[in-house]
């Protein structure tokens, strides 16, 4: 399956907690299952669907408001996922980026992020971006600050100069955004890159997503006519 005009799929992995609750499981079980499904489906997008850029909303800045137990688990899950899956993604030539603020992250998490980005930096088979400790408005603010720090005159700040300083500046605009669990909003995800993205909302909780449901989303995208304001 090939989607030549579709370069960047971005996904809000929503519904892990509700999936667990519906099965009388712990919230943490939902996150664990969600991480397994994401590994499978991201590789499917790269290898079978030939999508060069895949981005996932993993942990937002607002998620710090959750219980201490859940936040702590999510932080540890990042480290565990790196230890478990980094070699596999590296062998498959996938470059992994972590987009977001580093503020407030523990040393083990920071080391895991650094190890991941360094090991996969030269890979060319696809780019997996994980939005972690991420806020869309914060990204734009940080981009403006970095542009000015790099010598851009504030009076001559342009869309292009901001684009060159957002997180993972080489990652292109989003073509298709998928959000699971029935919620129909973007929650600040990829604000700079979503302006002309096609939106696809599905009621399925993320841990129940399958390759066939991904295929349905891609088919829906292919059937739409993108106008870009024309």
What is d(CA 28, CA 69) in angstroms, rounded to the nearest whole number?
A: 9
Of 14, 16, 133, 175, the active-site residue reads 14
Whether residue 153 lies in the annotated active site: no
Of 16, 24, 29, 63, the active-site residue reads 63
Whether residue 215 lies in the annotated active site: no
What is d(CA 105, CA 192) in angstroms, rounded to the nearest whole number?
A: 24
Task: Answer for the pair 105, 30: CB distance below 8 angstroms, yes or no.
Answer: no
Kindly compute the dihedral angle of the four CA atoms of residues 72, 85, 4, 59, in this order, to the nearest 10 degrees. 0
Residue ranges in 92-228 assigned as alpha helix (H): 107-120, 136-149, 159-163, 211-223
Task: Answer for the pair 41, 216: CB distance below 8 angstroms, yes or no.
Answer: no
Among 101, 112, 119, which Cα is nearest to 75's? 112
CA angle 13, 14, 20 (to 5 degrees): 115
Structure tokens that stand for 126 in this block: 């696809």
CA angle 188, 189, 195 (to 5 degrees): 90
Active-site residue set = 14, 63
């Amino acid at each position: 399956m090939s989607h030549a005009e579709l370069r960047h799929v971005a996904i809000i992995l929503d519904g892990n907690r509700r999936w667990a609750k519906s099965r009388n499981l712990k919230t943490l079980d939902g996150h664990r299952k969600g991480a397994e499904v994401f590994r499978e489906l991201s590789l499917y997008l790269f290898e079978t669907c030939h999508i060069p850029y895949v981005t996932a909303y993993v942990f937002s800045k607002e998620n710090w408001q959750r219980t201490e137990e859940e936040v702590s688990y999510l932080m540890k899950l990042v480290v565990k996922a790196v230890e478990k899956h980094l070699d596999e993604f590296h062998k498959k030539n996938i470059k992994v980026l972590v987009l977001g603020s580093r503020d407030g992250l523990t040393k083990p998490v920071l080391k895991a992020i650094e190890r991941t980005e360094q090991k996969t930096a030269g890979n060319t088979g696809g780019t997996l971006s994980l939005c972690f400790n991420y806020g869309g408005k914060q990204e734009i603010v940080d981009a403006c600050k970095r542009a000015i720090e790099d010598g851009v005159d504030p009076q001559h700040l342009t869309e292009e100069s901001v684009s060159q300083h957002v997180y993972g500046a080489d990652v292109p605009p989003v073509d298709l955004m998928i959000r699971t669990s029935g919620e129909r909003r973007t929650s600040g995800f990829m604000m700079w890159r979503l302006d002309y993205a096609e939106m696809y909302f599905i009621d399925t909780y993320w841990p129940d997503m399958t390759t066939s449901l991904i295929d349905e989303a891609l088919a829906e995208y292919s059937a739409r006519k993108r106008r870009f304001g024309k």
